[in-house]
Structure 1
Amino acid sequence: MNYVLIKNGFVVKGTAIIAEDILVGGSKILQMGINLNTPTSETPVIDASGKYVIPGAIDFNRHYLDLVNKGTDNDELRKLNQAQIFNGTTTMIDTVEDCYQKNYIYNIFKAKEKSKSNMIDYGFHLSFSELRKNSAEAFDYSYVHEGVSSFLISVSLLKDENLNLLDSIFKKASVHNLLVICDLNLRDDCIGNEEEDSPFENPNMLEHHFRVLTCLIDLGLKYGCPLLFLNMKFKEELDLIQDGIEKGGDFYSSLRLWFNLGNLSNVRYNEQELISGIANEFGLHPIFENEVWSLIKETRFLINPPLYNLTIDNSTSEDLVYNRPDAYFYIRNFLSLLYTIGVMKRKISMLDLVELVSIRPSKLMGLWPVKGVLSPGADADIVIWNPTFDRNLYCSIPNSSTVEEQNVKLKGRADFVFVKGKMMYNGETFYPRKEDGDFIFRTSKIY
């Protein structure tokens, strides 16, 4: 068995930060405590003095399958994986849709084939571009036989005539306490999508949006199954969901934190301008930074992982340049941003940060206690976080209440990243092989 001993770090657990050592054996955490000894004379020792040791982050909404093109060498998938590792992310979950044929078993098989080049672990949500009568049975089979324990519904794509099919899906989800994810993105929330109708051109889209949202909340209350509302942006959505929680709904929400990254002369992100325009046009109220920090103190709220940075052309270089604004720029620097504007600005604690990026996603996505936690027996998905590392990047927060948050220099980075006990990154160099990532067989939500 291969061992690694991490010494003298500030280990971030669920309720406390403790100075102790971690012994890794193979893919698992074997032991945690003070003054641990190396099991063999050849065991490598990493001194984490003055640094945090945290569980790897879990990206529960990462669309990576589209990056894999048949007959290519998967350069884009490799760049994404490197960006995730640099950020401190050790697991990601994508959505399997019926893009190959109307056979969900085949689609899951194809998704696994496409995912074999991942460097980090991965899992899937099940989804259908158009609901059918057998969608509920497909969900049940996918959970029992494939470990796919969440069903994703895109609110903007759900047709009124198919709303009656939701009943059987929610009923089936309630049997195993499976998670139904309701994506609240409007059709052109993602910059660059010019093919779909704009809410400005089709005001009925917003009427449909809130009608479907109300239907989903009612079904969640009826069957008692857990719902995660993804990409929540408006207070009007929040009011409906919180009203459902007060009525006993097992509801969770993932919020968008508006931020910009770059240098002092170029820190812009056009999506926030789009949402503000929609809000102004139709009398909606966006949820901005101060409210996000307040809401995420509650366990029912998370922060969305960032989208690909679609406002910037992707680099053609095969080398990962950390400060270069390529398509994975925001993904690569997300934890540094949360640490800088959250922990350092005292909006949240380091415990809160780990709760947001590791613990809550792990429990909601059926990965707990294998992932998202540092404890004996858990996967050795470990990040050694350097809190004092000075980044040559700046972030800004649109609609921030203080001038000091208009341009803030990033602090902190992952000095070491381990996935199931394998060192993937040491602060300078990547070490993964293309087959290092594994498919994760997930269970039902644990909360």
Structure 2
Amino acid sequence: MSADLVVRGGTVVDSAWEGPADVLVSDGVVAALLARGTPVDPDVPVVDARGRLVLPGGVDPHCHVGFTSGEYTSLDDHRECTTAAVFGGTTTIVDFAIPRPGQRPLDVARAQRAKIPAGLCDAALHGCVVEWDDTTADQLRVLADEGVRTIKMFTTYRGESMADESTILRTMAALRDLGGMVVVHCEADHIIVDSQEHAAGVDRIGAGDMPATRPELAETASVAEVLAIAESQRTPVYFVHQSTAAAVELVAAARRRGLRAYTETVAHHLLLDESSYAGPEPERFVCCPPLRARESVEALTRHLFTGEISTIGSDHCCYDTAQKREHRHDVRQMPNGLPGVETRLATVFSEFVVGRGLSLTRFVELTAANPARANGLYPRKGSLMPGADADIAIWDPRLAWTVTAAQLHQATDYTPYEGRRLTGRPTTVVVGGRVVVDEGELVDGTARGRYVPAGDIPAGPVQ
């Protein structure tokens, strides 16, 4: 059989199947899965995967690239973000096009899309609506035609990116008929503002006080309201970075009522807890929602095993220590977010596959297949079945290593996982049928980022 590449000798893991197989690649896609050792043209390049796992490249559904919020802009561009992504085994990211006040969603999405070709891997795009006006419906229609079918909305950050309930409802109604979906950051702004005002009044508003300024109740209250709006419009909805079991369970209950609703959690909410704010540099851990109490984290992680969590993202925001430190005494002025696109897969694999027995197929489902499905990218992305893009992470499940910022490729000087011992990481990464990373080294730095348009996202009930 002729091909461009064959990955030999590994254990292939897809979201619904795992077993010994060789992966035949032709014209940038998976041409076939073969029994190990099936003869192919001897001139075809071979990637040796003996003793390793062969996984679909990760799909990170939540990456902020060059993101501006308040007075701060995160430090990476598409080249830098996707370099870190591929070293971590992620081969598709979903970026955000979030308008600043006065900008049009369509213009911002087109500008952000134009940056994608500079990357080392492919990217899809979430749009964003902040205010509804008489042009919004037409802009959403054009965005959908151009493959942007997921629209981010915030229920906090009043005066910057917050959308009111009417705007959320109108956007949901419009997207329902366009094969789209609203992607929501849920924190009730009025509860947060009250909590922050109280904290400031007693001089407890610094980075170390972060958990009390954005309480769990703000998240669950907002999730309940947004679910009600979605059910009234019979439209799909995706909740980003859910940080509590109660929020996850609200979404699961709505799914049982027939609503197509998805829960995303992110690696740092599964692996870190609020004790990080008691350390010497609490500002490095300021994110929204904040890291939760250990008991809440344990309750959340159980839903990786119950099936109630749909996806794991990174919520990657590449600020550095200087940016995080500048207003460390007032979290209302600090940039929120943690760098994590490179460490998402390895930290989750080590903690939950190696440490707690999460199945390999569930790991692939959470980090590749379901992010692709929920965002209209499957089966092109998130799969190794024939016809999928040949995006492959060849994984050494026994490799022990220590996370240090100096050895990562993110455009920042820190990682929230500094010094953490992990087991398992990708050693070879294939993007579109070409080996990009091999044995931990960048072997092909060609910019080949492609924009991946989203297909229709079903609006009917979950089957």
TM norm structure 2: 0.75
Aligned to 1:119: 120
Shift of 1:361: 0.3
Shift of 1:360: 0.5
* 1:121-147 Cα distance to aligned partner (Å, 9 max, x none): 01111102333343233222211x210
Aligned: 1:149 with 2:149: yes
Aligned to 2:197: 201
Shift of 1:423: 1.2
- Listed as ranges, the matches of 1:241-260 within 5 Å are 241-256=251-266, 257-259=269-271
- Listed as ranges, the matches of 1:204-243 within 5 Å are 212-243=222-253
Q: Which amino acid aligns with 1:223?
A: Q
Shift of 1:53: 0.3
- Listed as ranges, the matches of 1:350-361 within 5 Å are 350-361=360-371
Aligned to 2:59: 58
Distance verdict in 2 for CA 1:107–1:299, change over 3 Å: same
Aligned to 1:373: 383
Q: What SS is found at the alignment partner of 1:201?
A: helix
Aligned to 1:362: 372
* 1:156-183 Cα distance to aligned partner (Å, 9 max, x none): 1468994223333222222244221111
Q: Which amino acid aligns with 1:335?
A: L
Query: Is 1:53–1:384's contact at 8 Å kept on the other side of the alignment?
Result: yes
Shift of 1:225: 1.4
Aligned: 1:440 with 2:415: no
Aligned to 1:399: none
Aligned residues: 400
Aligned to 2:331: none
- Listed as ranges, the matches of 1:319-358 within 5 Å are 330-358=340-368
- Listed as ranges, the matches of 1:365-404 within 5 Å are 365-393=375-403
Identity %: 19
Q: What SS is found at the alignment partner of 1:288?
A: helix
Q: What SS is found at the alignment partner of 2:8?
A: strand
Q: Which amino acid aligns with 1:139?
A: L
Distance verdict in 2 for CA 1:345–1:126, change over 3 Å: same
Query: Is 1:179–1:444's contact at 8 Å kept on the other side of the alignment?
Result: no
Q: What SS is found at the alignment partner of 1:231?
A: coil
Shift of 1:381: 0.5
Distance verdict in 2 for CA 1:125–1:198, change over 3 Å: farther
Distance verdict in 2 for CA 1:243–1:271, change over 3 Å: farther
* 1:57-87 Cα distance to aligned partner (Å, 9 max, x none): 01111011438xxxxxx97543322211111
Q: What SS is found at the alignment partner of 2:442?
A: coil
Shift of 1:372: 0.3
Q: What SS is found at the alignment partner of 1:116?
A: helix
TM norm structure 1: 0.78
Aligned: 1:89 with 2:90: yes
Aligned to 2:43: 42
Query: Is 1:149–1:442's contact at 8 Å kept on the other side of the alignment?
Result: yes
**Distance in 2 of aligned mates of 1:223 and 1:133:** 20
Q: Which amino acid aligns with 1:378?
A: A
Q: Which runs of 5+ in 1 are unaligned?
A: 68-73, 188-195, 315-326, 395-406
**Distance in 2 of aligned mates of 1:307 and 1:75:** 10
* 1:91-144 Cα distance to aligned partner (Å, 9 max, x none): 11111123496444332321122223111101111102333343233222211x
Aligned to 2:177: 175
Pairing partner for 2:427 from 411, 415, 423: 415
Distance verdict in 2 for CA 1:100–1:11, change over 3 Å: same
Q: What SS is found at the alignment partner of 1:200?
A: helix
Aligned to 2:438: 426
Q: Which amino acid aligns with 1:96?
A: A
Q: Which amino acid aligns with 2:171?
A: I
Aligned to 1:163: 165
**Distance in 2 of aligned mates of 1:88 and 1:229:** 24
**Distance in 2 of aligned mates of 1:100 and 1:431:** 42
Q: Which amino acid aligns with 2:197?
A: E
* 1:272-294 Cα distance to aligned partner (Å, 9 max, x none): 788898979xxxx9731353233
Q: Which amino acid aligns with 1:429?
A: E
Distance verdict in 2 for CA 1:241–1:32, change over 3 Å: closer
Q: What SS is found at the alignment partner of 1:156?
A: coil
Shift of 1:428: 3.1
Q: Which amino acid aligns with 2:185?
A: D
Q: Which amino acid aligns with 2:132?
A: L
Query: Is 1:65–1:94's contact at 8 Å kept on the other side of the alignment?
Result: no
- Listed as ranges, the matches of 1:250-329 within 5 Å are 250-256=260-266, 257-259=269-271, 287-298=296-307, 300-308=309-317, 310=319, 312=321
* 1:270-317 Cα distance to aligned partner (Å, 9 max, x none): 67788898979xxxx973135323345315532231534647459xxx
Task: Quote the RMSD (CA, aligned, Å).
Answer: 3.7
Distance verdict in 2 for CA 1:346–1:286, change over 3 Å: closer
Q: Which runs of 5+ in 2 are unaligned?
A: 69-74, 200-212, 274-278, 324-336, 405-418
User: Which stretch of structure 1 is more off in the superposition, 223-232 or 351-360?
Assistant: 223-232
